[in-house]
Structures are given as structure tokens and as C-alpha cells.
Amino acid sequence: MTIAVFPGSFDPLTNGHLDLIQRASRMFDHLIVAVGQNTSKRGVFTASERVAFIEAGTQALANVSVQVEAGLTVDFMRSVNATVLVRGLRNSTDFEFEQGIAGMNRSLDDQIDTVCLMAAPKYQFVSSSLLKEVAQFGGDLTQLVPPAVAQGLRDRLERDK
């Protein structure tokens, strides 16, 4: 059985993330979406809120589970017996960034392979910082994030004003 891990902060969860999760779930026996904290950014949602959004968006995918991770992804992968790391690529900048991370992960554990999936063209421009800015100014996010996430972003940003 091949267990794969798709790690990220998912702050916020986007339809692009969900597309990658759905596609990866068809490739592996089990996919664990690992919710981590990006230490270089201030988060909008708590880890438990992000887990709830992902669980709601993946409830029809029987081979997908969601867990919170802290620390090194390779350590998390060892703890769940995963051998494949799934990453999404939007552009060449993402590729260069992910190439370095894949190399580091491979040096930490040579049993881990990284599989990169290209983002669907309709989501290649989506980033968390752009979404937060659009939400802050009342823009329509309905094509880019699940409805609950769009509402959560509006509520959170309104509360934090």
C-alpha cells in the first residue's frame, strides 16, 4: 500500500488545493493531507479550522485523511509510513523552490520520493496572499475557494479590522 502525504499550510484552503487532493487521491492508496504552520507567515485560520475545511471538502474521498503536523515533514512521513510527498506547482518559481525542498528531504530520508503535480490552469495564479487581499477589499472569491472558506475569510478579516 502506497501512502502519500500532501503537506501545506492551507491557509486558506483553495479550490486549487482541492483539485490537487482529488487528483493525488486517484494515484495513491492513501493520501494524508498534512496541515502545518508556515512559520514565515501570520495565519488567518487555526489549525483546527483548516482541518475542518479540508475534511468538509474531501468527505467524498474515502482514501483521504487530514492530520496536523509539526516539525519536519520527513519525520511526520516516517510516523505514518508514507513514502511519497505530493506537491503542487503553479509556475517555474514554485518548481525551483520545490526542487530545493525535494533535495533536502531526500538527503534527510532517501526512501522519500517527491511527486509534483501541475496546478490546473484556472488555478495557477492563486496564492494565499492574493486571496487575502481580495477578501480584505470585498472581492468575489467564489470561483477560487470553497463557500465556507470565502465566508470564513470575510468574517475573520472583518473581525480583525
Q: Answer yes or no: 79 catalytic.
A: no
Residue 6, all three cell numbers? 500532501
- Residue 124 annotated in ligand binding: yes
Q: From 152, 150, 153, select the one nearest 141 (Cα to Cα).
A: 150
- Residue 41 annotated in ligand binding: yes
- Residue 114 annotated in ligand binding: no
Of 23, 90, 106, 132, the catalytic one is 90
- Residue 83 annotated in ligand binding: no
- Residue 30 annotated in ligand binding: no
Q: Answer yes or no: 17 catalytic.
A: yes
Q: Answer yes or no: 132 catalytic.
A: no
Under 8 Å between Cβ of 145 and 131: yes
Of 41, 48, 79, 107, the catalytic one is 41
Q: Answer yes or no: 128 catalytic.
A: yes
Per-residue exposure over 37-57, b if at least 16 CB sit within 10 Å of its own CB, e if not:
eeeeeebbbebebbbbbbeeb
- Residue 129 annotated in ligand binding: yes
Name every residue whose Cβ is closer than 8 Å to that of residue 154 and which is 6 or more positions away in sequence.
135, 138
The annotated binding site for substrate is made up of 9, 41, 73, 87
The annotated binding site for ATP is made up of 9-10, 17, 88-90, 98, 123-129
Catalytic residue numbers? 17, 41, 90, 128
